[in-house]
Amino acid sequence: MELNDLLEEVKTLAVETGRFLRTERKSFRRDKVEKKAAHDYVSYVDKTSEQLIVKRLRELLPEAGFVTEEGSAFFSGEEYCWLVDPLDGTTNFIHDNAPYCVSIALRKGNKMQLGVVYECCREELYWATKDSPAYLNGQEIHVSDLSVLDQAFIELGFPYDAERFRPFINGIIASLYGHVGGLRLLGSAAAELCYLAAGRFEARIEGLLGPWDIAAGSLILQRAGGRVSDFNGGDTYHSGHEVLASNGKLHDELLKIIRLHLQKK
């Protein structure tokens, strides 16, 4: 199947899954929540939506492997690999807060081919391919042009492994709080990367994520003119372990701040 044909199928699948999430949210009960780790939760909604996505993607591209958050399918070295987060922002979903979304990306070898994110609460569909611009609901989007850190609107993410990440994030907050236009913690990496692509923020900083959290959003951001790197400016961000995303204009300045606190760890 051609890439653009795959894209259209994945866009439809993401929206359908998002509708399922919104429907389930109306009758969702917290006693259905399971604890994966400290403050890290999952429910039947995550698992069911992932199973639905995996089933459909297998029909579209039978030869592909999978990297999924809930482990419904696996990657065994296939040339193609789907990276799936069926419900990014589970804690938001549990508490009936925005945003939460569906994130699906396709990788060939080491290169992302397409990325689709459906932000359920605003009913926003973001997508891009390796060669296309980035789009939101059919309209081309671009990162912001802001290049002054003092005015920047910056998103932060707090990983579940608090003890490991706390010294670093405390330092980042100390350096940025009161010195940037604003800091926000929204709770959905995939959605936030897309907000950054749409020019709503200038940067996002988080570590200890999974590859499924950032695969689609990173491609969409890059095709919108943004930049993604690890905390040393390299390309190991694909693992999710260290992710600095920006409009590109503030990236090097933020890397200097990040490196300062990495040295203190």
Q: Where in the chain is the domain with CATH 3.30.540.10?
A: 3-140
The answer to whether 32 and 43 are in contact (CB under 8 A) is yes
Residue 36 has pLDDT above 70, yes or no: no
Count other C-beta atoms under 10 Å from residue 38's C-beta.
Answer: 9
Residue 35 has pLDDT above 80, yes or no: no
Question: What is the chain's percent helix, strand, coil content, to nearest 5?
Answer: 40, 25, 35
Model pLDDT for residues 86-101, shown as the tens digit of each residue? 999 999 999 999 999 9
pLDDT confidence of 41, banded at 50, 70, 90? Answer: low
| Predicted local distance difference test score (pLDDT) of residue 38 | 56
Model pLDDT for residues 193-221, shown as the tens digit of each residue? 999 999 999 999 999 899 999 999 999 99
Please compute the mean of the pLDDT values over residues 101-107 and round it to a whole number.
98
Q: Where in the chain is the domain with CATH 3.40.190.80?
A: 149-262
149-262 classified as CATH 3.40.50.460: no
pLDDT confidence of 172, banded at 50, 70, 90? Answer: very high
Q: To the nearest whole number, what is the mean pLDDT of the chain?
A: 93
CATH of domain 3-140: 3.30.540.10
Pull the structure tokens for residue 133.
Answer: 């611009």
pLDDT confidence of 264, banded at 50, 70, 90? Answer: low
Residue 265 has pLDDT above 90, yes or no: no
Please compute the mean of the pLDDT values over residues 116-121 and round it to a whole number.
98
| Predicted local distance difference test score (pLDDT) of residue 31 | 74
| Predicted local distance difference test score (pLDDT) of residue 37 | 60
Q: Which of 11-20, 35-44, 103-112, 229-238 has the lowest mean pLDDT?
A: 35-44
% of the chain at pLDDT higher than 90: 82
Residue 19 has pLDDT above 60, yes or no: yes
Contacts for 79-83: CB closer than 8 Å, 24+ residues apart: 79/108, 79/109, 80/106, 80/107, 80/108, 80/113, 81/106, 81/107, 81/108, 82/54, 82/57, 82/106, 82/107, 83/107, 83/211, 83/212, 83/215, 83/216
Count other C-beta atoms under 10 Å from residue 175's C-beta.
Answer: 16
| Predicted local distance difference test score (pLDDT) of residue 225 | 98
Pairing of strands 182-184, 153-156: parallel
